């Protein structure tokens, strides 16, 4: 189960919200530029690179190796990743019906509405 640390999470968030593939340097700068509420962290580029390698090993990140400053990007969208995680969690329980029942109870009305729409007919 791919659980992410704080920094790993921060990096993934940046990769997920940036349309373009990013270099380690760009990421380092982006992290320094007030990432969501955190203290602006001045990290060494090597730190970012290490994290990227680890994320790559986990299959969450891929990189363009040919372009010289390697450019990194996420393998899946945040939405796909999140949905996958949710599913992984769901299947850990034998009684999925019961889990879904409770899950439904925890979502907002708006989300319930969305679900109805998505589940549509049949």
Question: Which residues of this chain interact with DNA, rule CB under 7 A?
Answer: 3-9, 23-25, 41-47, 49-51, 53-54, 58, 65, 68-70
Site for a second copy in 68-97 (CB under 8 A): 78-80, 82-87, 89-90, 92-97
Binding mask 100-119 for a second copy (x = CB under 8 A): xxxxxxxx---xx-xxx-xx
Q: Determine the 3-state secondary structure of 25 from DSSP.
A: helix
Least distance (Å) between residue 122 CB and a second copy: 8
Q: In angstroms, rounded to a whole number, what is the distance separating the alpha carbons of residues 51 and 64?
A: 16
Place of tokens 């949905």: 83
The H or E element containing residue 113 is helix 109-119
CB atoms within 10 A of CB 42: 9
Least distance (Å) between residue 117 CB and DNA: 35
């Amino acid at each position: 189960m791919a659980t992410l640390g704080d920094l790993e999470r921060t990096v993934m968030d940046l990769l997920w919200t940036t349309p373009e593939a990013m270099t380690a340097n760009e990421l380092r700068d982006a992290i320094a530029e007030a990432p969501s509420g955190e203290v602006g962290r001045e990290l060494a580029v090597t730190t970012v690179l290490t994290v990227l390698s680890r994320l790559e090993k986990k299959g969450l990140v891929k990189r363009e190796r040919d372009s010289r400053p390697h450019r990194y990007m996420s393998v899946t969208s945040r939405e796909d990743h999140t949905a996958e995680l949710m599913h992984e969690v769901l299947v850990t329980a034998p009684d999925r019906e019961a889990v879904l029942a409770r899950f439904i109870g925890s979502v907002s009305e708006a989300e319930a509405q969305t679900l109805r729409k998505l589940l549509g007919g049949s």
